[in-house]
Structures are given as C-alpha cells and as structure tokens.
Amino acid sequence: MRLENWANAQNQAIATAKNMAGEATIYEAPPWFWSDQYDVNIQIVGHPGGGDEIVRGDVASGRFTTLSIRDGEVVGGIAVNSARDMAVLRRLVASRKAIRRSDLENPEFELKRSLAS
C-alpha cells in the first residue's frame, strides 16, 4: 500500500536502513498519520473504513474518537483533538487483541483498559 505521510516516510526509512546494515527487520507498523489543520489535530491509524464504526466522545464538541471494529478486533480509528486516545488506539490496532465491543461502546469505559490482558 502506498502511504504518503511523515510517519511512514520516517519509519519505513529506519527499517530499510536497519536491513541494509544487516539487522533483519520487518516493517509492519499499522499505518499512522497526523495532521494539524488550524486548531484541529487529526490522527488516523490502521484502516478506519475497514469495519463497523463506534464513536466515542462528542462530535459537536470537536473532540472525539472513532474506532473501526472487524471480527472482534479494532482495525483502525480516527482521533480528533484526542491524542491520548490515539496513543492507546495505535497499540490496540498493532496488538490485534480481541476486544469486547460493548466495552468500547460504553462512554464510561476507559479506552486504555482495553489493552489489559
């Protein structure tokens, strides 16, 4: 997949250089992208269009997170002015952990608890 963003340009280059230097490295980080558009920080991980969408937070407030769920896994997400959620989402997507959808739909459920085994 062709990914045109800073994180991919940097991390793919790091993996390439390691392989060139003899350290066998697989580049498998989920796609992650951020952009600041005026006062809005947008971060996207994985494949947000790849499953059923759950919205956490208040879209009207301009601070919210969406998660894309497929086959019991979080396969992508979008964080708008929610960098803390993205830190968790990136780990969640990379881990391919089985999640309980009802937890993620519960606004009282702290997202980082989904990382606990």
Q: Which residue ranges make up the site for ligand FAD (CB under 6 A)?
A: 4-6, 9, 33, 35
Q: How many CA atoms lie within 13 A of 11 on its CB side?
A: 14
Identity of the residue, 10 or 25, whose beta carbon is nearer to ligand FAD in the bound complex: 10
Provide, rounded to whole angstroms, the least separation between the CB of residue 44 and ligand FAD.
10
Identity of the residue, 9 or 40, whose beta carbon is nearer to ligand FAD in the bound complex: 9
Provide, rounded to whole angstroms, the least separation between the CB of residue 35 and ligand FAD.
3
Alpha-helical segments (H) within 3-107: 6-20, 83-95, 101-105
Identity of the residue, 20 or 116, whose beta carbon is nearer to ligand FAD in the bound complex: 20
Q: Are 79 and 89 in contact (CB under 8 A)?
A: yes
Provide, rounded to whole angstroms, the least separation between the CB of residue 9 and ligand FAD.
3
Provide, rounded to whole angstroms, the least separation between the CB of residue 16 and ligand FAD.
11
Identity of the residue, 33 or 64, whose beta carbon is nearer to ligand FAD in the bound complex: 33
Burial of 29 (0-12, 13-18, 19+ CB in 10 A): middle
Torsion angles phi and psi, residue 72, rounded to 5: 75, 10
